[in-house]
Amino acid sequence: MTIPEKIYPRTGDLQTIYLKNAITNPNISVGDYTMYNDFVNDPTGFERNNVLYHYPVNQDKLVIGKFCSIACGVRFLFNSANHTSNSLSTYPFPIFWEEWQGQPDNVAAAWDNKGDITIGNDVWLGYEAVILAGVTIGDGAIIGARAVVTRDVPPYTIAAGVPAKPLHKRFDEQTIARLQQLQWWNWPPERIAANLKAIQSGQIDKLN
């Protein structure tokens, strides 16, 4: 088996795509088999519709791992959406540098830079969840529908709400540590296929 280069993995389904194969922005990285479903807009418009305020001037990055499931309407809100809170005014004066005798290379001073957005492997992002700049979501985490994620979410943790808060771990700590050690998402496709029954039934001891 080889890594698929097709955009649409399901015959007749134009709402679900392998996201990696629809990405052109060099500051967005998506792992193999990660899927995005959109029943409202064309899913191939992900960069335009779902990755917001991601302006080249800031050079911030969106990194999404392998085998993630991204539901319709998930948004990634980047640093340029922020207004600085350290100034006496939240007005973005540096953006209007021509009006205020500023410098064009100082535009990024208009907002607080919180860093990149990093999504681990095998993460499920629920319907219309919003992920804010600077957030890291660990492997195997689940984010509830319409959650607003303002802080990091540990691996294999279910988080939901506004702002999102951890609800509980999906597995015990021993199982989580074993899964992170195995990193099955990095196995060759043939090995994953041979272990699908154990993966889908939650039988970690039967993985080989």
Q: How far apart are CA 161 and CA 166, in angstroms?
A: 9
- Residues in CB range of 95: below 8 A, 6 or more apart: 107, 110
CA distance readout (Å), 146 to 15, 70, 99, 124:
20, 12, 38, 13
- Token output for 208: 């080989």
For this structure, is 168 an active site residue?
A: no
Say which amino acid occupies 152: D
- What is the three-class DSSP state of 156? coil
Q: Determine which one of 61, 83, 170, 178 is catalytic.
A: 83
Say which amino acid occupies 52: L
Find the radius of gyration of the CA atoms of the chain.
Answer: 19
Q: How far apart are CA 138 and CA 124, in angstroms?
A: 11
Active site residues: 83
